[in-house]
Structure 1
Amino acid sequence: MHNKNWLVGTALLCSLLTSVGHAAVSAEQANRLQGDLTPFGAEREGNASGTIPDWTGGYDDQPAGYEGTGQHHINPFPDDERLFTIDSQNVDLYRDKLSAGTEALIETYPTTFNVQVYETRRTHTAPEHVQKNTQENARRAKLVANGNGIEDAYGGVPFPILSGSNEQMAKQAMWNHLTRWRGIYGVRRSNEVAVQTNGNYSLVSSQQEIFFNFFNPEADADSLENVLFYYLSFTVSPPRLAGGAVLIHETLNQQKEARRAWGYNAGQRRVRRAPNLAYDSPIAAADNLRTADDTDIFNGALDRYNWSYKGVEEIYIPYNTYRLSEKGLPYSEILGVSHINPDLVRWELHRVHVVEANLKDNARHIYQKRRFYIDEDSWSIALVDQYDARGDLWRVSMAMLKNIYELPGVFTTLDVFYDLQARRYHVQGLDTEEPSTRQFTDNVPGSRYFSPFALRRRGVR
């Protein structure tokens, strides 16, 4: 009887420990963020061959002619020349530096898709308060709810130094992406398209507003009220979709409380809860080429997958992709028949954290396996390989990263979602033909602005 009680007690203790997750690193380890590591946890030194340089503070300047937030970005490196191009003729020489998805795109479109490589510029940085909060997070942040939430983190990278078990390190890396620095409050008018096999497409225009509560200057780790961010989006065109709107309150502990979502139907003039706006729910505006959790390359709960950390690799990823955001660049020049114009995409060699997710036996999702490539400097997911139930590579997601220098910090220009089997693709974030691009400010509307009532009000407009 005593042995049975001991076993039950031990099992309960293990369960509680698993629920709490791994605690923060020691003060001595955290001090590495002021030494051999960058303030965000990346290796400060470059690689031995010199193809990845040292991090020397990132890019926190603004090029001549740039007047501030809302203006389309000016390329700060206009004189950089292409070093070489990887295509179907020489791909064998570079396979060890390519993700499976990038390699598959070269093989699927051998005469048109290529990777144009430039010198590596480690441009990521963030304001002093983000760096300071990251230092504090390293000593206190922890996973909770079996990795489906975090606690004692605020305003910076939660886990700049990955630690604990392999699974915990994988989940920490994903939470670093989910909470990465993207400003405090942003507004963007942009377009998304689903490009058909013949190259035809129709624009879906919308305005998005997002308040990153995790970086709320009036909050701290104890007063976030389990809210990661507030997101409000309403569709402007085409007429059949115009007036529709979506509101999301994303949570920091999705086991304690799942995301809260509402949808506004302009035809019915009604706001309704949208509990299914998560996981693999198809997105109509993307012609079902993007799932709900594909948005932002990945978002939402981690609970349907088993997670494993595969280490750090050096691969080519889209980076400093300023040409894709030049004011006045026609969308027709960006959007090719089978993929976006490779002449507009700058690729660089960067170190990435590789994380793999395999669907649990008792869970449902259209992707059986996902492999994420997370930029070492910014914790932004740059590439994702996504596999179907047969184990075949199905879809490839790409974030066209660049430094948003008014923040400053690395974020995305466009997100592109390729379906290798259907030979179609989807692009989100087109704004070069818009009069202005995304705008950032520290002046945040009150919480009532992100209420279901506000959703109806904005949707009617």
Structure 2
Amino acid sequence: MIHKKLIQASCLGLTLLAAQVLAAVPAAQIARLDNDLTPIGAERAGNADGSIPAWTGGIGNDAGQRDTDGFLSDPFADDKPLFIITADNVAQHQERLTPGQLALFKRYPETYRIPVYQTRRSVSLPQSYLDATRQNAVDTTLAEGGNGLINYRSGGLPFAIPQSGLEVIWNHMGRYRGLSFQRQVVQASPQTSGAYTPSVIRQQLAYPAGLSDYSPQEMANILYYYREEFLSPARLAGGVLLVHETINQVKEPRMAWQYNAGQRRVRRAPQIAYDSPGAEGMRTIDDLDLFNGSPDRFDWLLVGKKEIYIPYNSYKLGSPTLKYADIIKPGHINPEHTRYELHRVWHISATLKEGERHVYSRRDLFIDEDSWQAAQADAYDGRGQLWRVSEGHSTFFYDQLSPQYNAETHYDVLSGRYAVNALYNEEKQAYRFDQSFNRKQFTPSALRASGIR
């Protein structure tokens, strides 16, 4: 009997030791999520001079109204710019700007500017996501090489208290955007003259926990399902892309398929990853969302946190009173409709691994602490020269407690062209969070049924 109890005690000790090894952070650190940190790891306190206020819970789902066409009212419509950064005064503000932003001022000294508004820490997230986040903070670890997650609970942030650059980029990819949604948005890649042809795209995103037939066992390695269909122009209409994004990409890489409406065929699409070109060559596949996909080709350095001006609470940019022609201008989008605020961001720098291939030798990302959504990204070519500058103009869908982009821009500072996507000013009911999805809708066979030609 004594011998049996000793064995049981030893097993219990080993179990507790294993739990400590697997824990992302010590228990004392996790307790900070109830104290100096928010439930997803942002600093609750404001900054030293008060220009960044304390986080007090964000804004609630009653912060404004949704009109009959699906557009949200701007809860900060009465705010006026505190000041506007131009090429004439940019030197006074350069410590709070990224190298990419400074490059845009240099490339477009007459037209590019940054209107800075009062900082509003508007983000708040559903309690179910916060609960899963706390559990992930205890259980989730990186897979071998950092190219996946182990013991990750779907519907929560992977690493509320990150210890590395890889954990930060996984937080961006695992951030809350709603359990599932459908949106109809516009993408354009204007010429240097400003001329463009808009593409209308219907996109669907579903996390496992948002599916009606969710099976934790069968979908243990799925991060999300993504599907997009081109509705226009005619030369692209009917083309469909399907992506199964995996959690542990060492165990099972991303799977992608394309439906070609002209050929009426579904084919595997292994090129839908990494540096394959998109948006008329103005960005790479993994530039979308400022970064997506497997992080395995880069070494990720956690540089630290800093305070910079980033696009935020961009309700004005998403207004239905604007036409796409009001926004899409030569060189860059129209700054009259943008809003920037001072926020703390996580700065991570990714350097291409020796022996790996990518058109970027380095990419720096600046990720908002309150939403874990990337706000700025700088990409460098093989010579180490700054090449592309990306900005994510965020809006908080307060009625759904969901941060989103209502414009995502990718500027080529060498050629003077850019791509913009996620615009929806002229689309009625652009975002639908009330869609019910199941796994069959995200299968290759379902792509054939969606062709329109």
Same topology, TM > 0.5? yes
Aligned partner of 2:92 in structure 1 is 93
Note the C-alpha offset of 1:147. Answer: 0.4
SS of corresponding position for 1:322: coil
Choose from 322, 333, 337 the match for 2:330: 337
What CA deviation, in whole Å up to 9, does each residue of 1:187-215 have, x standing for no partner?
11111000110110001111111112266
Provide the residue aligned with 1:47 in structure 2: 47
Deviation at 1:67, TM superposition (A): 4.9
For 1:282 and 1:290, locate their aligned partners in 2 and report how far apart those are by CA, in whole Å.
Answer: 6
Give the TM-score normalised by structure 2.
0.92
5 Å-filtered alignment, 1:195-210, equals 195-210=190-205
* Partner Cα distance (1:268, 1:323) in 2: 41
Task: Please report the TM-score for the alignment, with normalisation by the length of structure 1.
Answer: 0.91
Match of 2:16 in 1: none
Q: Which residue is 2:242 aligned to? A: 247
For residues 51-70 of structure 1, the aligned pairs below 5 Å read 51-67=51-67
Q: Which moves more between the two structures, 23-32 or 215-224?
A: 215-224
- Which runs of structure 2 are paired with 1:185-200 in the superposition (5 Å)? 185-200=180-195
- Give ranges in structure 1 of 5+ residues lacking alignment: 1-20, 164-168
Amino acid at match of 1:60: G
Deviations 1:151-206, CA, capped at 9 Å, x for gaps: 2122211101012xxxxx10000000001000011111111000110110001111
Query: Is 1:230 the equivalent of 2:229?
Result: no
Task: State how 1:359-374 maps to structure 2 within 5 Å.
Answer: 359-374=352-367
Alpha-carbon distance in structure 2 between the residues aligned to 1:218 and 1:32: 36
Over the matched positions of the two proteins, sequence identity in percent amounts to: 43
Mean CA deviation greater in 56-65 or 209-218: 209-218
Distance 1:301 1:430 in 2: 26
Paired with 2:283 and 2:424, the residues of 1 have a C-alpha distance of 19
- Partners of 1:459 and 1:149 lie apart in 2 by 33
Number of aligned pairs?
Answer: 432
Note if contact 1:211-1:444 (Cα within 8 Å) is conserved in structure 2: no
Determine the structure 1 residue equivalent to 2:291. Answer: 298
1:221 Cα offset (Å): 6.8
Deviations 1:44-92 (A, max 9, x none): 0010100000000011233444258x71121111111100011111111
For residue 256 of structure 2, what is the aligned residue in structure 1?
Answer: 261
Aligned partner of 1:32 in structure 2 is 32
Query: Residues 1-27 of structure 1, C-alpha deviation per residue, up to 9 Å, x if partnerless?
Result: xxxxxxxxxxxxxxxxxxxx9741122
Task: Answer yes or no: is the 8 Å Cα contact 1:124–1:378 preserved in 2.
Answer: yes
| Matched residue SS, 1:241 | coil
Q: Is 1:448 aligned with 2:448?
A: no
Q: What amino acid is the match of 1:105?
A: L
- Give 3-state SS (helix, strand or coil) of 1:327's partner: coil
Instruction: Look up the equivalent residue of 1:246 and give its one-letter code.
Output: L
Is 1:128 aligned to residue 123 of structure 2?
no
Superposed displacement of residue 124, structure 1: 1.0
Q: Report the more deviating stretch, 408-417 or 385-394.
A: 408-417
- Give 2:261's aligned amino acid: A
What residue identity is the alignment partner of 2:345?
V
SS of residue matched to 1:195: coil
Letter in 2 for 1:434: E
> Does the CA contact (< 8 Å) of 1:153 and 1:221 recur in 2?
no
SS at match of 1:323: coil
C-alpha distance 444-27 of structure 1, shift in aligned 2 (>3 A): farther
Contact 1:193 1:201 (8 Å CA) reproduced = yes
List per-residue Cα deviations over 1:340-369 (Å, max 9, x = no partner).
011111000000000000111201111110
TM-superposed CA distance for 1:459, in Å, is 2.2
1:401 aligned residue: 394
- Distance verdict in 2 for CA 1:44–1:63, change over 3 Å: closer
Match of 2:449 in 1: 457
Match in the other structure for 1:172 = 167
User: CA RMSD, aligned part only?
Assistant: 1.7
